Structure 1
Amino acid sequence: MKKRLLWNLLFVIAVGTVVFFWLIDLISKHTEESMSFIDVSYREELREYAREAERILYEEGEDALEIWVKEVEEREDTWIAIAQSSITTLSNTSLSQSYTDNFWLGRSLEWKIHLYFAENPTMDIFFEDGVNHFLIQLPQRMRPGSNLLIIDLILQIGIPFLLLCLITFVLYRHMMKPLKKLEKATRQFSKGQLDVRASDGFSHRDDELTKLASTFDHMAGRISRLITDQRQLLADLSHELRTPLTRLNIAVDCVEQNLDSDKALERLRYESSNMQGLIDDALTLVWFNTESPKLDLEDLEITSLLQVIVEDAQYEFSQHKVRLIQLESEFFIKSAQQALTAALENIIRNALFHTPIGKTVTVELKQKIDNITIEVRDQGYGVPEKYLEKIFKPFFRIKQENQDTERSVSSKKSGYGLGLALAKRQVIALGGSIYAENLSHEQGAGLMVCIQLPYCASLTQRRNE
């Protein structure tokens, strides 16, 4: 789901707020309703007033009732009346019996009291005779809802404030946890801890913040690999330059002492040429590693290119045989000629170097539905299975066994283990892939390096029209 964090916040804040205030309103209404009834003890006290008034009226008379009413009025700061409900109708009309039976001069003790009315209501209690009414304005001390203001403040301000603070804190923790972890990881990474990662422990989350942490991890991983590779490259380059520099110094000494100057000068030219090639290859490798370049692709006719590369290789290694197998028709691909040529030259030259004199290196072009495959098969001694991936690493070389003389897995031009490493990065930059595998004895033994490049048949068809 895109914008997962947005939807989470929308649900928590928008939906949660609506539900939250609905609940607050529901609780407030329920609380007000429960507070709107006269307390049970006060109801009983009012009924006791009515019974006492009825007793005094029938036992002591109206004069005694008047005195008692005034005492109660003064004590309760209210008014009291004893009345009869007598309704006179006009124009020969009549009231229904149900209306007459339920007619009240005041409010029943069981009814709700309006909490927001300023004046206290008049309460109506029937005498036992069912005719007379005991009417009393509800004393202020008996009025319900005396704590309504405080409760309203608590329900409508206090509780919402505390709960919103809690929600804000939870959201803050939810959002800041990965950000703080990212901050910590960034600080540690800046101090040289290249293996630190920010997304550890967030596998249960999948939102924009964890994606930010994953992006940081990807960046940190790439930077750490670049730093590690550059450190290793620098160490390897320093090691590889030490030997030719020693030879150069020896050659310079020979020239200075006039000891076989011609041979020494030839050695100087040879070593300086090798060092120049080593430095150029190393710089190219660094460029591919650090920049991950997107090469400018063009329509490239692959069969003609292979023909030229094979002819050049045959000329350079005249004591070997180079065989090209491909279809007669032209094939066009989207590629960069310079990068692809350099990669193929390195691979073919590497194969020729490890093929005994008189043996054959086969270059075969195969067409598939969505790619073309270029196989370079030599008749050398192969590579141990455990090294098939490592031969594409810079400066990686292994000693070949079962040979009269030891040789390293490298080409004559780049005898430092950079040829296949460069070829792999060039092929990847072209959108292809490369791998190596040993050939069986039935296949002629040796090693096969296979390049796969994207191919679109419509391009070839369009160019051939």
Structure 2
Amino acid sequence: MRFLKPGLLPLRLFAKLYLTMALSTLLLISAVVFVSDYSQRKLSVISAENQQLLRDYARRSADIYWQTPDPEQRRLKLNQWIDTLRQRENTWAAIMKTESQFLAGSYDRQVFWGQKDLGTGRSVALPIHLYYSFNPVLKLPMADTGYFLMIQLPQHMRPGTYWREIEGTIQYGLPVLLVAIFALLIYRHLAKPLVLLQDATQRFSRGDYQVRTAAALGPRADELGELGRSFDQMADRIGLLVQRQRQLIQDISHELRTPITRIKLAMGCNTDDPLWQRLEREVNGMQTLLEDTLTLSWLDNEEFNAEKNFTTETLDVCLLIEALADDAQFEFPDHQLQLNLPDQYELNNSNHRALGQALENILRNALKYSPPGSTVSVTLMALENELLIRIRDQGVGIDPEYLEAMFEPFFRADKARSQAVPGYGLGLALTRRQIHAVGGRISVQLNNPQASCAADSAGLTVNVWLPG
């Protein structure tokens, strides 16, 4: 099996993903263990306030011991104090001595951390085991008495009240969170170049044949970097082919201009002969085709689209549409032309030649394909940040699947209709390029949106949006 290069099996991306997942797993386990141990240590220690309270109880016991010299009175008062303490804390308590007796061996200070009394009970500073429900007995020394206050840890002082919930969060919530973070890092590592490639592909499909991915993906030494370099090679090749195709069209168009001009001169003014009239129409059609082809090639050039290198001006759209309507009404006297326009509307940074030719082509098509006696309406609406020009006809319409394809050069949806109406299929393609050239956009919709074929479409509505 081959990947990208013959004879090699480049698993660089696989190695990255494997190492990332392996490292993520180790970090995940380490994080869970560390956080669990740290939380358990912190939560298993009696709070400082409760430790101080227990020491105060031991100091109070010592005070009663020293303030009562008589042994019987001392015993009585200490018993009363212990009963009070038991009721207050709802636990067991006592005062006692604990002594260690060695049958063999001897005491070692280092081994027992300097504590000589090794009897029952534990210090308040030691951690409490969170998994045991039994509360331990604490041993608090009564200063200078040799006795200890022995008290079972009151339940309200027990640390780690919410340890079970915290432990569940650490065991289940923390892994989910860390996995989400690791997945996000992996996703960004994979998605970023894919988004760049997607953007480059979309820009390339829109006619930006200079877009390349080398700057963004060139440094990557994995399969995605190879994919970016393959895209650049493809873009270079296709860009060169498109450039040669456009140059070929321009060269052919320029070369055909001269012989067509010579033919027209050779024909002279003999307009009475029907044959010569037919030849004149055909030659004029060829000349129109050449001019439209050159204009389309010029508007479709990516350098033109990037620089918009044509004259921009301020124009009154209403006056422009009225002038076009007068000419169209003269050419199609059997049609009704309805204009819904304000008194004036100034459009900045536009071009009257490009916009006028585009609107004229749309209007002529609407009248051309509408039956005699029908009405074609032109409506101008000022929206929030743009201008909408809507041209609605009552023609034969078009099948819904051809609504977008009709803007392609030389498109013909109905061969019979193409024979009845002269033209070469460049009109709408040229119109769309001209609308885009002035910063607008164009769309076509059926007058009857539920139509499944041209016969039911009840005509077309062309919408032209222009920046206001």
Which TM-score band (shorter chain)? Answer: 0.3 to 0.5
Normalised by the size of structure 1, how large is the TM-score? Answer: 0.46
Larger Rg: 1
Normalised by the size of structure 2, how large is the TM-score? Answer: 0.46
